[in-house]
Amino acid sequence: MIQDPNPQKLEVILERPPKVKIMSFHYSENSYVNYGRRWTAHSLIEHSKKYPVFYLPLAGLHIGGYPWGNSSIDNFIYHSKRVQNANLDNPIILDDMGQIADGWHRVVKAILEGKETVKAIRLEDMPEPDEFLKEE
């Protein structure tokens, strides 16, 4: 049997394991990319203010996609925390074609909470993109 040279130190470690840090986040880091164009969440939110809010049935949404790519555990934890912190008072934003441009974390939270609808805004036109992406 191997004996620990410093058993008191081991006890301290077992009493207080380190916390796993989660990446911090702010809505301003969000963006929506479509057809080689990128919009920041801020631009979409500002543009959406001229449109009415309505209740979108969650049952009508396609939830089989990968809005955050193929997730590692780290990425999954990050997005799980964002779902927990999502504010359902803020409407999701649908682009001019009906795709979710901002609000997947709110959609997930609403589904997990057993809601039937989520507040939404449908853009009738898109604002100017914040960036044109280079084709590779």
Say if residues 81 and 20 touch (Cβ distance below 8 Å). no
User: Which of 74, 87, 92, 79 lies closest to 113, judged by CA?
Assistant: 87
pLDDT score of 2: 59
- Global pTM reads 0.81
CA distance 60 to 115: 13
Is the predicted pLDDT of residue 25 greater than 80, yes or no?
no
91-111 pLDDT, tens digit per residue, is 999 999 999 999 999 999 999
**Domains, the chain, ranges and CATH?**
32-63+71-132 (3.90.1530)
Is the predicted pLDDT of residue 117 greater than 80, yes or no?
yes
Tokens of 129: 């993109």
Of 61 and 2, the structure prediction assigns the larger pLDDT to: 61
Say if residues 30 and 101 touch (Cβ distance below 8 Å). no
pLDDT score of 68: 81
**Tokens 């990425």 map to which residue?**
75
